[in-house]
Amino acid sequence: MTQLIAYADRLGGSLAGLHRLLTGPLAGLFDGVHILPYFTPYDGADAGFDPVDHTSVDPRLGSWDDVRALAGDIGVMTDVIVNHVSADSAEFRDVLERGQASPAARMFLTYADVFPQGATEEQLATIFRPRPGLPFTPYDWGGTRRLVWTTFTPQQVDLDLRDAAGRAYLERVLTTLADAGVSMIRLDAAGYAMKTAGTSCFLTEDTYAFLDELVARAHELGMTALVEVHAGHEVQQRIAAAVDLVYDFALPPLLLHGLSTGDAEPLRRWLDIRPTNCVTVLDTHDGIGVMDVRGLITDDQLHDLVESIHRNTHGESRQATGWAASNVDLYQVNATYPAALADDEAYLVARAIQLFVPGIPQVYYVGLLAGGDDMERLAATGVGREINRHAYTDEEITAALERPVVRRLLDLLRLRAEHPAFNGEFSLGGEGSRLELTWRSEEGWVRLEADLADRTYVVSADSDR
């Protein structure tokens, strides 16, 4: 199985346009597609991850019938934004107007819900947040000033998922997606869903218990669940034991490290111990995660890795990362993956390894087309992650699909989709800067030999396919 990750408005222009691409120029390459948020509105303060209405398709992109039609041809993954909704949602606006008299008042989390007796400085300092500062925003709550929990931005208000109102909201979202034929859900920001006083409020024991319940409900509705969490590799291993699928966020920076230094040992060690129920990525709609490799490479190596990205992008990633841009992330560098490597051959080596590593490979639409940093979008929005969210015209897609680097990537994708050995057993070999990844089944074998120092790869198989 191989999946595409794409915004419907930025690859094809709509749900129907994305469908045409997947059954036309990209036919046979992907078994599934992760469509990034297409809810109302898809272009909010956080590119759809702040839904005003999580149960409606933005009419500018299409309808639930378009989702069902696509799901009839290819597996569809959809985001469930677990932690929050937009401050412009009808429910939250009603709370702001009517306060505790609103039926939705218990749906949202406040400071007092977690700290009814107040919090100590130590308790507040313990809270983990992926942005600078504390996760509270003052709102006029029906005439009373309240501190509302806002983990990400003031426009994204957190749900109280201990309360029946918050749980009922998520149930409506899940059943809507299942009715539309969605077969896989990505639990966005799930690690922040449960806040417990005296803890970091991130991936607590209460969070794990909540995830167990949420995944079980997804199974009842016929959907599998992928959990999105940026954390150290030990945490990913624990999460993997509790859910259907977890991202291998360590793979992208380990490949960047290996291809910039020729050192394959950290990657080799990770491939020996990583979970098997992984979704592999090199790039996504977010930045390139770096905290996920702590403990796999040294802090000095991590610093050198980040500096190599800034150097390869001629400083573009530095302009889009951290304090240089809004939506500040503590754990990501913003750049396209091809730009981070600045070399087509190195990029193809990275993609080849991704496609041969056990798991479900997901290929981001900008990476599929070997796109560079979109500095115009960055300048227009001031949002760092927009550097890797180009909106492609039909003409740009056609031209990109003819580029030699893209055509070679499509060949790799076609091999991954068609060769039966990928349904068999995997083995890892090689030494020094060389990796040898082999798949064998009763129907044949296929092997990738990659050299991170030379930035070369060779694919061999029992037959031409």
Residue 46 counted as an annotated binding residue: yes
Cβ count within 10 A of residue 275:
18
Neighbouring residues of 124: CB distance < 8 A, sequence distance ≥ 6: 134
CA angle 451, 439, 285 (to 5 degrees): 65
Residue 331, token pair as written in the block: 């754990």
What does DSSP say about strands 224-227 and 144-149: parallel, antiparallel, or unpaired? unpaired
343 is in an annotated binding site: no
Cα separation, 196 vs 149, whole angstroms: 12
Residues pairing with 86 in the sheet: 156
Q: According to the annotation, is 392 in a ligand binding site?
A: no
- Site of tokens 């193809």: 348
Provide the residue type at 175 as one letter.
T
Question: Could you tell me the two tokens for 358?
Answer: 């056990």
Please give the single-letter amino acid code of residue 247: Y
**Which two three-digit tokens encode residue 162?**
């201990």
- Is 330 marked within a binding site? yes
22 annotated among ligand-binding-site residues: no
> Does the annotation place 230 within a ligand binding site?
no
272, 257, 256, 259: which is closest to 451 by C-alpha?
259
Q: CA nearest 184: which of 370, 5, 371, 376?
A: 5
Q: Would you call 58 a catalytic residue per the annotation?
A: no
Tell how strand 444-451 and strand 456-461 pair up.
antiparallel
The type of residue at 343 is D
The rounded distance, in Å, linking the Cα atoms of 9 and 332 is: 24
Report the Cα 16 to chain-centroid distance in Å. 23
Closest C-alpha among 253, 283, 318 to residue 390:
283
For the question of residue 228 being annotated catalytic, the response is yes
Q: Would you say 84 is a known binding-site residue?
A: yes
- Do the annotations mark residue 106 as ligand-binding? no
188 is an annotated ligand-binding site residue: yes
Question: Which of 228, 248, 373, 386 does the annotation list as catalytic?
Answer: 228
Judge whether 286 is annotated as a binding position: yes
**Residue 347 annotated as part of some ligand binding site:** no
For 131, residues 6+ apart whose C-beta sits below 8 A from its C-beta are: 152, 153, 328, 329, 330
Residue from 58, 79, 188, 263 carrying the catalytic annotation? 188
Residues within the annotated binding site?
46, 84, 186-188, 228, 285-286, 329-332, 385
The residues that are catalytic are: 188, 228
Please report, in range form, the residues annotated as the binding site for substrate. 46, 84, 186-188, 228, 285-286, 329-332, 385
